[in-house]
Structure 1
Amino acid sequence: MLSIGELSKRTGVKVPTIRYYEQMGLLAAAERSGGNQRRYSRTDLERLAFIRHARDLGFEIERIRELIALSHHPKDACEGADRIALAHLSDVRDKIDRLKKLEHELERIVSHCSGHTVEDCYVIRALSDHGLCDHEH
């Protein structure tokens, strides 16, 4: 059995976050020692590592909850997990597209700035007037 501090060290998840995951029901409520300290099993460690990795990949809490529910049925087809991962991949690609547009616009704004004072600064003017942007971002 692991203390919450040891669980935190092994997974890289901060103690308050572990407590939060317990409150959210992503992690089962910990057993308690005679001194009322939280005690975690190997299964808890594995679950927390799963949650941490999913969060690192950008999965939302509700999607992680769905994936955990699916993991309770190891003999079922994995189409549900695939669907969740594909939807997340689509969201990530959309974000990348938006970020590329943002990058392009920021590069354009910065490259147009040749003013030596704030009153001549294209960056300041462009931020004040969305109409100076090339496209929606």
Structure 2
Amino acid sequence: ALGLPGSTAVATSRDFPGAIPDHLVVAASLVAERPQEVQALVKTWFETLEWIAANRADATAIMARRAGVSEADYASYDAGTTIFSLDDNLAAFEPGGTDDHLDHQAALIAKFLVASGLADTEPSLDGLFEPRFVRSLKP
């Protein structure tokens, strides 16, 4: 829509950091039945982040191609994106009452789902987050 003449953004995700989270999600059964594979997946995620940081131009080209956008457009999107480091993830898993904490964000999203009519009741957040795989990577 922003490509249309005269259009401007009223607000972007840059104005609301953390409000549009992406998470690595696996089924509870996978965690229970194949924790070693889940651990390998989480470890690979952080190795991928290290590769991206060390190979920014190549990474941007790959991700732009995958997203079907130009490298310039991808770089623009990337400027408004925060990818959590290992320490950021560790902090986010701690219980808290600010936007930096997953439990707080999940509660806000649950309330939004009800208020917007997307859900009749707030979903249970019990067991939603499993920090052990991230915690095990901390030296």
TM-score for the superposition, normalised by structure 1: 0.23
Asked which structure has the greater CA Rg, the reply is 1
TM norm structure 2: 0.23
